[in-house]
Structures are given as structure tokens and as C-alpha cells.
RNA sequence: GACCCCAUCGUUUAACGGUUAGGACACUGGCCUUUCACGCCGGCAAUACGGGUUCGAUUCCCGUUGGGGUCACCA
């Protein structure tokens, strides 16, 4: 049987380095076996999925050098490769499960679910899932209620007792009590399937042989193998990769580390270096060499050699590796060309020039004013971030709220940025000037700088957000506790 | 909290059950050099703990501790 692996990102945000990590291992494993690598877009969350994100993900993966044999852009014999285009398939399968008595409509409201959950947590109950209220509604009654237009979801019937046992390629046998799993929703009220249903149906139909993904999914495997059982299908082989970590060992997150592939691109990392670095997270060349291409990786790779400790994504080492590529693989001519592709091209130069033009007295002033547009970080000092009559802690809060608000921006341009900053200033009842002041420091590394909003637009969201975070570190950073409190306040 | 996963220098990784526990990044001393970087030579630094199994455990088993993840009409 031909080995087929897949990457199944959901288009709900920035392209994540963790996605590239899983893509690399999935891709390499397919190629080790002369098989195929499939890209499938998991956009079953109508609320959060955006086309912009999908485009960005495909674009980043291409940039980093991952290729797929089948996918939404290139098609293939198992399409469509976008889950929102496969709804009728899921619907059929859901109906089949209901028919066979493996799934049932559930009419519980969100409010009831919330209160049940809350109560269970208060009671410190070991299981905090759904109480299965609708599991035993007679099918005829359920049909009537549906006909009457009552909103409902569909849940799968998890066994009430016994144990689920499955194999993970790297971890061996994993077992989990069925009683610890609640009746998972497989179809939402909007008629879309949930991940659990869609992933199983698609992996089967697309003849995926190896599921290579993050460790975070281990706990949902029982639901999936049960679905395979319900359908009478043979489950694929599971291989859960360790999770990439922040320096504090928690799961890699943009709160603590730049996670967007776009950041690394904008900051001037080479795609082959980034991919190489990801390849040494949990795996190593047999001879111990640290610089290797994807092709070389394919020649020596074995899934079984992956080590399981969660590797910390170490930007310092990535930087070193990137430097090695530049030094060892690029002639001056090649480097010049690469720089042109990166930022030294007419498009970017003209954008940058537009921002600084009015400030130039000589052409050579250009270099002085635009250095910040060609850098990863800028030098920030505490006094650059100071705001009159404000303590560092307050500035920190301000910057954090600004970052959060900027993160939510769908469109990144001078005017949307300006709107956000005005909102923040208003919220804190302060002059806009007092908010932009530390931002000039954080973004430009100087009080003398081109207009902030325009500069931020040109610089792009990834670099801006990273620079603001770096500035916050200069101020000592927010403690976990404060951050939590602030987040609560921010959400409210 | 319940459940699941994991455990070698600060980080990333080596070590058929027998090694002075190795490499790389970071840090650091020196050399090279007009400076910096690169490069070269050196240094610091780890088997979480407690029990077994064994002639012998980093390695196998159990427990403890620690870390992480999952417990959504998100994936």
C-alpha cells in the first residue's frame, strides 16, 4: 500500500511554525516511502476560518519549501481538499451513524451545557463532559423535534465503560477509559461537521496511511478510532510528534515567541535554514551533522528515530544555523540576489521611501531613516518607552492591550492601526500621543522616526508585534498573574 | 481536579546493558585580525529522585517528583 501522509491546517490565523514542523515530517515520511503528501484545509469552523488565512498558509508553506502532491490549489484524485466543499460527504456519514444508532441528535442549549459543566467543576467531578441528557431520546421524538425546527447538534455514542486501546508509532500502546470521554459533538448546529468527524471521514476517503501530527491530539484518538469502528474502516497508523515549546517549556505560542512563519520570513531567515532547524527538533542525522537539506533528511529519515521530549524552539540556534547557510552556501552575488527577493526590491523600497521622503535633505539620509525597515529588532531602552506620569507597569499593560487588539486586526494598514490605537487611548482616557510615544520606541527604536501608523503598515504585523513584545521585555515583562488578570479584563 | 504523554549539560541532541557520558547552540578564556564577525584551540556544564532486575544500569521494570498536553457546537 502506498504511503500517504497529510497536513491538515485550519485557516484560522497566522501560518504557524508548528504547522511547518508537522508538514516537514509528514512530507519527508511520505517521500522516504515513495508516497504522497496531501494538503487538506480544515475550515469547518465558519466563525474563525478566513480565506486570507488559507492563502497565507499555502503561501508560507511554499516559501519554506514544502510541496504537496494534492491540495486545494493543485487538485488531485481525492478532492475536494477543502472541507467546506465536502459538506455533503460528512452529512451522509453522519446520517449513517444516526441510522445505525451510533450517533444521536442533541437539543441541549449552550446555556444548559455551560451550567452543567460549571456545576461539575464546582463539584470537582472527575469528568466534566456532557451529561448525555439527549442520548436516550427515542428516535421518533427526535425526528419530530427536528421537523419542528428545533436546533440540534449530533453527538456520537461513546461506550459507557471499558477501555480504548490504540497504538502510537512512537509511544507504543496507549489506553484510555471510555468513561473519561463524553459524547463528542460530530455535527454542529450550523450543519458543519466537527473536526473529529471530518478528519476521520477524510483521512479514510483520501487513503491516508500515517497520521503525523502534534501530541496535543493524542487524547482525541479514542474518538477517532471509535468512528473508524462505527464505519467499519481500518484506522491509519498514528504518530504523534512532540510539541514545539516556548523557552518556559509550554506549548509554543505567539504570546511568548514569534510563531508566525511570516515573522521569520520578514526577519530575514532563509527558508532552507528554518526547515533544517525544524528537522532537528526531535530528530538528528545519523552522523550527527546539523546542517542538512530536506533531500538529505529524506535519505536518512525514519519515523522511529524521533525523540519524544518536547523541544524548545531556540531562536539563538536557528539564528546560528541561518548564518551558516549564508556563509557556506551563498556567494556574494547569490546573497545580493536573495536580499533583493527579501526586501531590496523596487516594491518595498518604494513603500519605505514614501514613508520617509518628506524627511530627506540628502539622499543619504534615506539610509539613516530607513534602517528600521530592514531590521529584525531595533535597539530599545527603558527611557524610550517611558510615558509621562505613568509607571512601567501601566505602560506594560498598555502595550499588551495594544498587541492583543492589533492581533485581532483582519486588515493591516495605516488606518486600521490608527483606529486601534485611538481606541486604546480612549479606553485608557489618555492622549493618543502618550500611547504612540512608547510605540515609537518599541517599533522604531528611536524618538526620531517616520510617522508611526505608516511605518507599522510598511513593517507588517509580524515584525511590529514582535518588536512590541521585545519592548515589553525591556520593561521587565508582565508576570503570569498580571497577564491573566489583564486578559480577563480585556476579554470583558 | 481527572485523564493522557514525556524526562541526559541552560537549550538541542549522541551513547548494541560495560564510554573519562560525546557533539552543537548559548556562556566563557585564548589565538587569528585595523575593529567586529567568521575560523581555530581550550573551559564551564547533564543522566530528576527512590526502589528493583542484573556481575554491571543513562539504557529494562515499578513508584515518586517535575514538566507538558487534553478535557468546546476550536481545530
Chain segment A356-375, per-residue pLDDT in tens: 999 999 999 999 999 999 99
Each residue of A16-61: pLDDT tens digit? 999 999 999 999 999 999 999 999 999 999 999 999 999 999 999 9
Residue that the C-alpha cell 534615506 belongs to: A366
Is any atom of nucleic acid chain B found less than 7 Å from the CB of residue A150?
Answer: no
Give chain A's radius of gyration (CA, Å): 25
pLDDT at A492: 62
State how far the alpha carbon of A175 is from the alpha carbons of A34, A167, A228, A437, in Å.
32, 9, 17, 56
Report helix, strand or coil for A122: helix
Residue that the C-alpha cell 486545494 belongs to: A72
Greater pLDDT, A284 or A387: A284
The answer to whether the CB of A179 falls within 8 A of the CB of A23 is no
Each residue of A288-331: pLDDT tens digit? 999 999 999 999 999 999 999 999 999 999 999 999 999 999 99
Alpha-carbon distance A119 to A307, whole Å?
Answer: 40
Q: Over chain A, what is the mean pLDDT? A: 93
Alpha-carbon distance A160 to A182, whole Å?
Answer: 9
Query: How long is the CA A61 to C1' B63 vector, in angstroms?
Result: 45
State how far the alpha carbon of A430 is from the alpha carbons of A144, A193, A256, A388, A436, in Å.
58, 46, 28, 11, 11
Three-state SS for A402-437 is HHHHHHCCCCCCHHHHHHHHHHHHHHCCCCHHHHHH
The active-site residue out of A100, A119, A176, A254 is: A254
Query: How long is the CA A6 to C1' B74 vector, in angstroms?
Result: 20
Residue A153, Cα to own-chain centre: how many angstroms? 27
Report helix, strand or coil for A268: coil
Query: How long is the CA A328 to C1' B41 vector, in angstroms?
Result: 22
Can you count the helices (H) and strands (E) in chain A? 21, 9
Give strand letter and number of the nucleotide nearest A45 (CA to C1').
B74
Alpha-carbon distance A190 to A331, whole Å?
Answer: 56
* Strand B interface, A 264-303, C-beta < 7 A: 280-284, 288, 290
Q: Is the pLDDT of residue A13 over 80?
A: yes
Is any atom of nucleic acid chain B found less than 7 Å from the CB of residue A159?
Answer: no
Alpha-carbon distance A475 to A304, whole Å?
Answer: 44
- Chain B positions with an atom below 7 A of a protein C-beta are 1-8, 10-14, 22-26, 38-39, 67-75
Residue that the C-alpha cell 524618538 belongs to: A447
Is A254 in the active site? Answer: yes
State the average pLDDT over residues A389-394.
Answer: 86
Is any atom of nucleic acid chain B found less than 7 Å from the CB of residue A48?
Answer: yes
Query: How long is the CA A119 to C1' B42 vector, in angstroms?
Result: 64
Query: How long is the CA A62 to C1' B10 vector, in angstroms?
Result: 34
pLDDT at A485: 77
- Copy the grid coordinates of residue A460: 507588517
State the average pLDDT over residues A399-419.
Answer: 92
Q: Is the pLDDT of residue A270 over 90?
A: yes
pLDDT at A488: 74
State the average pLDDT over residues A380-386.
Answer: 90
pLDDT at A491: 67
Alpha-carbon distance A53 to A10, whole Å?
Answer: 9
Query: How long is the CA A268 to C1' B30 vector, in angstroms?
Result: 33
Minimal CA–CA distance to A420: which of A399, A441, A440, A393? A399
Give strand letter and number of the nucleotide nearest A193 (CA to C1').
B73
pLDDT at A110: 87
pLDDT at A393: 87
- Copy the grid coordinates of residue A432: 493618543
* Strand B interface, A 166-185, C-beta < 7 A: 170-172, 174-177, 180, 182, 185
Complex ipTM: 0.96
Nearest 5°: phi and psi at A308?
Answer: -95, -10
Query: How long is the CA A203 to C1' B69 vector, in angstroms?
Result: 23
Give strand letter and number of the nucleotide nearest A328 (CA to C1').
B38
Q: How far apart are the first and last CA of chain A?
A: 53
The answer to whether the CB of A438 falls within 8 A of the CB of A395 is yes
Each residue of A185-234: pLDDT tens digit? 999 999 999 999 999 999 999 999 999 999 999 999 999 999 999 999 99
Least confident of A138-152, A186-200, A239-253, A326-340: A138-152
Least confident of A122-136, A266-280, A412-426: A122-136
Is any atom of nucleic acid chain B found less than 7 Å from the CB of residue A246?
Answer: no
pLDDT at A125: 74
Is any atom of nucleic acid chain B found less than 7 Å from the CB of residue A10?
Answer: yes
Amino acid at each position: 500500500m502506498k504511503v500517504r501522509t497529510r497536513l491538515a491546517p485550519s485557516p484560522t490565523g497566522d501560518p504557524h511554525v508548528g504547522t511547518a514542523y508537522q508538514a516537514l515530517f509528514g512530507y519527508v515520511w511520505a517521500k522516504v516511502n515513495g508516497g504522497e503528501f496531501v494538503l487538506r484545509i480544515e475550515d469547518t469552523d465558519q466563525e474563525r476560518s478566513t480565506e486570507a488565512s488559507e492563502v497565507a498558509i499555502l503561501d508560507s508553506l511554499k516559501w519554506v519549501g514544502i510541496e504537496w502532491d494534492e491540495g486545494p490549489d493543485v487538485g488531485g484524485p481525492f478532492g475536494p481538499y477543502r472541507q467546506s466543499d465536502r459538506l455533503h460527504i460528512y452529512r451522509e456519514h453522519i446520517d449513517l451513524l444516526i441510522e445505525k444508532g451510533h450517533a444521536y441528535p442533541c437539543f441541549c442549549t449552550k446555556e444548559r451545557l455551560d451550567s452543567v459543566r460549571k456545576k461539575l467543576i464546582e463539584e470537582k467531578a472527575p469528568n466534566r463532559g456532557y451529561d448525555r441528557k439527549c442520548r436516550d431520546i427515542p428516535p421518533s421524538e427526535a425526528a419530530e423535534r427536528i421537523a419542528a425546527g428545533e436546533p440540534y447538534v449530533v453527538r456520537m455514542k461513546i461506550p459507557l465503560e471499558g477501555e480504548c486501546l490504540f497504538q502510537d508509532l512512537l509511544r507504543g500502546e496507549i489506553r484510555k477509559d471510555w468513561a473519561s470521554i463524553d459524547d463528542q459533538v460530530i455535527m454542529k448546529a450550523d450543519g458543519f461537521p466537527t473536526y473529529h468527524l471530518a478528519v476521520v471521514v477524510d483521512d479514510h476517503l483520501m487513503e491516508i496511511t500515517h497520521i503525523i501530527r502534534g501530541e496535543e491530539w493524542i487524547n482525541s484518538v479514542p474518538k477517532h478510532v471509535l468512528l473508524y469502528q462505527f464505519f467499519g474502516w481500518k484506522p491509519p497508523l498514528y504518530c504523534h510528534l512532540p510539541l514545539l515549546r516556548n523557552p518556559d517549556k509550554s506549548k509554543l505560542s505567539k504570546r511568548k515567541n514569534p510563531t508566525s512563519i511570516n515573522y521569520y520570513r520578514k526577519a530575514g531567515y532563509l527558508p532552507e535554514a528554518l526547515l533544517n532547524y525544524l528537522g532537528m527538533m526531535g530528530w538528528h542525522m545519523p552522523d550527527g551533522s546539523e546542517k542538512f537539506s530536506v533531500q538529505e533528511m529524506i535519505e536518512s529519515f525514519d519515523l522511529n528515530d524521533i525523540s519524544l521530549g518536547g523541544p524548545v524552539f531556540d531562536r539563538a540556534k536557528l539564528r546560528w544555523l541561518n548564518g551558516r547557510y549564508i556563509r557556506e552556501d551563498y556567494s556574494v552575488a547569490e546573497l545580493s540576489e536573495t536580499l533583493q527577493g527579501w526586501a531590496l526590491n523596487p516594491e518595498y523600497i518604494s513603500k519605505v521611501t514614501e514613508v520617509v521622503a518628506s524627511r530627506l535633505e540628502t539622499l543619504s539620509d534615506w539610509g539613516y531613516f530607513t534602517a528600521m525597515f530592514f531590521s529584525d529588532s531595533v535597539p530599545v531602552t527603558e527611557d524610550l518607552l517611558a510615558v509621562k506620569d505613568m509607571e512601567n507597569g501601566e505602560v506594560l499593560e498598555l502595550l499588551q492591550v495594544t498587541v492583543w487588539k492589533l492581533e485581532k486586526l483582519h486588515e493591516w494598514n495605516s488606518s486600521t492601526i490608527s483606529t486601534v490605537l485611538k481606541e486604546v487611548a480612549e479606553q485608557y482616557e489618555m492622549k493618543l500621543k502618550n500611547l504612540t510615544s512608547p510605540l515609537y520606541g518599541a517599533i522604531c527604536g528611536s524618538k526620531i522616526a517616520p510617522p508611526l501608523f505608516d511605518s507599522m503598515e510598511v513593517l507588517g504585523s509580524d515584525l511590529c508585534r514582535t518588536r512590541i513584545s521585545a519592548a515589553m521585555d525591556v520593561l521587565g515583562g508582565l508576570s503570569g498573574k498580571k497577564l491573566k488578570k489583564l486578559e480577563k479584563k480585556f476579554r470583558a
